[in-house]
Amino acid sequence: MERQSAPLLLERPKEREGQVQRLASEVWEESMKLWEVVGPAVFMRLVLYSLNIISQSFAGHLGDAELAAFSIASTVISGFNLGFLLGMASALETLCGQAYGAKQYAMLGVYMQRSWLVLLAFAALLSPTYIFSGQLLSALGQPADLARDAGAVSACLLPLHFMYAILLPLNKFLQCQRKNAVTAVTTAVAFPVHAAVTWLLVSYFGLGVIGAAIALNFSWALVVALQLAYAVGGGCPETWGGFSSLAFVDIWGFVKLSSASGVMLCLESWYYRVLIFVTGYMKNAELAVDALSICLSLNGLEMMIPLGFLAGTGVRVANELGAGNGHRARFATMVSTATSFLISIFFCLVALGLHGRLALIFSSSKAVIDAVDDMSVLLALTILLNGVQPVLSGVAVGSGWQALVAYVNIGSYYLIGVPLGALLGWTFRLGVHGIWAGMIGGTTVQTLILAYMTIRCDWDQEALKASNRMGLMGSSE
């Protein structure tokens, strides 16, 4: 008996070894597909965010008041609107990604035109928030000087607002068909141009913080022009068939999906921007806003990596669901989450190791640098959560769960996180640290709920829903 069983015992390790090798091969293959989108997406987001960092750095070295004014204008006013428009554009990611997976290539160009119409209309509706931002900030109790200066910068950033509405659909359109090198190259071209133009306007011509805002408009306009020229100038022959009246068909249905997407992602985008706004009410508000805006700028810079994974996960999940491969969508989710979390651990340790030294990029004020140093642990915790939460949001985008996740975000962020932050900040007198800690609690709750939804998801059913959605869209055209 022992002689007969021995070969079987030897076969089992070989069998396990073969399974491990197959799994490793599948992980490697999926990682390559994922990074094909994530790599250029991360690069593009890092460069675009760095444009703001450059302008903010020039403003910060002009003085603490200039830094606070530019931070309020670019992070709160412009950031609030960008969050909503970015969310609305994610509807295009769902539809284009699933259409590409279903090989309905001609629909990508129609969807992009539909998205332009919707986003430009909403951009026009939101434009008074730039024009009257000074009065709005003053009415909400912000210090008069800070409200006036931030309002002037915000008014100069109005052209940037409309560029968001054009560029965001372009990015989704190109990413969903894996033309990711185009987005990376165009932003790479804009980066040195932005640095040069910002120096000319701020330092050489002495236009100060207004010059930093004008330079930001110019650089984003350059990126828009380059990507638009590629998309409509012959670079996408399968997916761009020219401007079409089909863009106006079923536009209300597109508005509903875009609005749900806008609410979902803007609630996430606005969440930590609320922290800067609330900090303006605290004692020594200028110092607190300066220190916190630096921390959130550093967090935002690192956040471009998880946002790249959000884009990559959304595209991969949408492509596989559109092709009817529910199990591949699930596997893509697992690989993306694990990869993003490992990267976030590394940057969490970097934030803890460098402490306040990173603040030297933005300010030479010892008081500001020390204040940033005090917040380094909270910054590290936020970075750690960044490794999971955006990827799960990418799953929601790829699957079309935006409306459901919007409710999750409202509950987690604004019914738990903000009240908890207010309780710790004012009732327990922990100040900015308490507000931020409470909001981290809200993010943790949201991440746990999204993780539960993802684990419990019936991926075969989601693939069927995507197939039905593409069938309905195709028949309506």
pLDDT in tens, 414-436: 899 888 988 898 888 888 888 88
**Confidence (pTM):** 0.77
CA distance 333 to 347: 21
Residues 6 or more apart whose CB falls under 8 angstroms from that of 86 comprise 164, 168, 265, 266, 269
Cα 98–80–214 angle (5° rounding)? Answer: 105
- What's the chain's average pLDDT? 84
Q: In the numeric block, which tokens belong to residue 271?
A: 């969440």
Sign of the dihedral through C-alpha 236, 237, 240, 242:
positive
Q: Per-domain residue ranges for the chain? A: 37-476
Residue 364: strand, helix, or coil: coil
How far, in Å, are 153, 168, 256, 271 from residue 160 at the CA level? Answer: 12, 12, 25, 21
pLDDT of residue 284: 67
Predicted confidence band of residue 124 (pLDDT cuts 50, 70, 90): very high
Left if phi > 0, otherwise alpha if psi is -120 to 50, otherwise beta: which for 234?
A: left
Is the predicted pLDDT of residue 285 greater than 80, yes or no? no
CA distance 29 to 36: 11
Is the predicted pLDDT of residue 12 greater than 70, yes or no? no
Match 């915000």 to its residue by tokens.
154
Q: In the numeric block, which tokens belong to residue 467?
A: 């197939």
Comparing 223 with 20, the larger pLDDT belongs to 223
Predicted confidence band of residue 2 (pLDDT cuts 50, 70, 90): very low
How far, in Å, are 162, 326, 392, 435 from residue 447 at the CA level? Answer: 32, 22, 8, 19
Is the predicted pLDDT of residue 8 greater than 60, yes or no? no
CA distance 82 to 328: 32
CB 386 within 8 A of CB 394: no
Digit-coded pLDDT (tens) for 173-212: 998 888 888 988 999 999 999 999 999 999 889 898 899 9
Sign of the dihedral through C-alpha 111, 113, 116, 118:
negative
